[in-house]
Structure 1
């Protein structure tokens, strides 16, 4: 179900035969068997041109849910991938032909340079990318969005690219965080809403300043949380979950 009735035209990346057709023919029906995805706010995803989609993250199945939603709206879903993966035989080829976006993680300087290069590629190609600003599955015990990292903000500001907060709810019933896949009952409902792009006009030209990155990251996390509150029909905690304040690692499995 969608809240918009405006008919969108298919983007060139979806209307032309490509590897995406093959992937969609395999993945979309499989996801459709386990999830009934209801999309809201699809008019907020540009029909053409580059964009950064920033969703919440609470289940390992989230990337499939978001990818199918983006494809159904009319765009090809792309994600950030570690630059080193592009050098792996076969895998690197697959990442390149599907237009995944490389990002360096070795050092601050390398990451900054890689982000600028990735932003330029996105703008030149007119592609979009999906970036999880939390960087991993939320550590919040009630699955609210936790503290964000600056990756999505860096990429959007480096290329003057629309930054679009996205929230979804329901994927945790299919695959609980670090849990087991639940296939019964089939086609569990997952609602996903695309919010309006953030107004970043006041930050253009300041994308390298830490204070700007922190402010934009806070804005996108608040945007995601507000959308999540609407989906869940309840208010999020006043203070966003900070893993380090609770003695938690921000990588790897969450300790019980």
Structure 2
């Protein structure tokens, strides 16, 4: 997805592959829908908001405007009639997961809508993601392994349970090959949609995490978590 500049055309290609039964294409299509949904719901409104943001030129705001501009350029062509939104994203991921996409299956757990609602299934899914070493599956699983996993006995022993764990899964995805550069989908989404932007426009995701998102006393802990996630297929403490 990161290599694609015209996501509207890319989505049309993926839709053809999905109709041919390609579950992984279904997962990629869900990522396009998720990325472009804020723009597609109202392209004119998105542009107006971006213009308002551009009028407040502080370093962080400038970065947010640049990120929103990247989204608008890549998502041009989508319209409200396409129905992009949380429901369509979840629907597409459910279909892809049932077809065999591990990343989509992990994303469903992160949405709170796993294919099976049992502790044994959840634990087995985490183990399968770790064994796959698939960076997209790591990234998709990350939200499920953060603070919302606190107190979840089914995840005992895994890297899980606080905000550092979620970041560790994301950084591990970067180390396993996910594009985490300054212009990547990951960095752009954080900045354009959540307003979490680096003041340095050239800073990649991993550098930003350790520079701004993690307090100094937590950096070593996150680093240790990441090392476990990328070096140990079991990744249990």
TM-score bucket of the superposed structures, by smaller chain: 0.3 to 0.5
More strand per residue: 1
More helix per residue: 2
Which structure exhibits the higher relative contact order, with contacts defined as CA atoms closer than 8 Å and separated by 6 or more residues? 1
State TM-score, norm by structure 2.
0.32
State TM-score, norm by structure 1.
0.31
